């Protein structure tokens, strides 16, 4: 996996496929807001919303 990742990164950079600016500031803000974000919604609530938003069907142990 490491070889694949390294080779693909090298190829992408060699061919200038990604010319965007760094997202360091955006990522730092995202990380800083995580504690507040998770105080508002539980993982279960967020997971359920994700399933609904993407039209997925989830089978838990009881519905198998």
Note the pLDDT of residue 61: 64
Asked whether the beta carbons of 13 and 20 are under 8 A apart, the reply is: no
Judge whether 4 lies within some domain: no
Note the pLDDT of residue 63: 59
Judge whether 45 lies within some domain: yes
Judge whether 34 lies within some domain: yes
Note the pLDDT of residue 32: 92
Q: Which of 8, 4, 26, 5 is nearest to 17 (CA)?
A: 8
27: containing domain: 22-56
Judge whether 37 lies within some domain: yes
Note the pLDDT of residue 52: 93
Count how many domains the chain has.
1
pTM above 0.85, yes or no: no
- Per-residue pLDDT reduced to its tens digit, 7-46: 998 998 898 888 777 888 998 999 998 888 778 888 888 8
Q: Which residue has the higher pLDDT, 2 or 60?
A: 2
């Amino acid at each position: 996996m490491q070889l694949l990742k390294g080779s693909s990164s090298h190829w992408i950079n060699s061919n200038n496929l990604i010319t965007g600016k760094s997202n360091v500031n955006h990522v730092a803000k995202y990380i800083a807001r995580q504690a507040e974000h998770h105080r508002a919604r539980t993982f279960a609530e967020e997971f359920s919303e994700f399933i609904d938003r993407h039209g997925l069907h989830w089978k838990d142990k009881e519905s198998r």
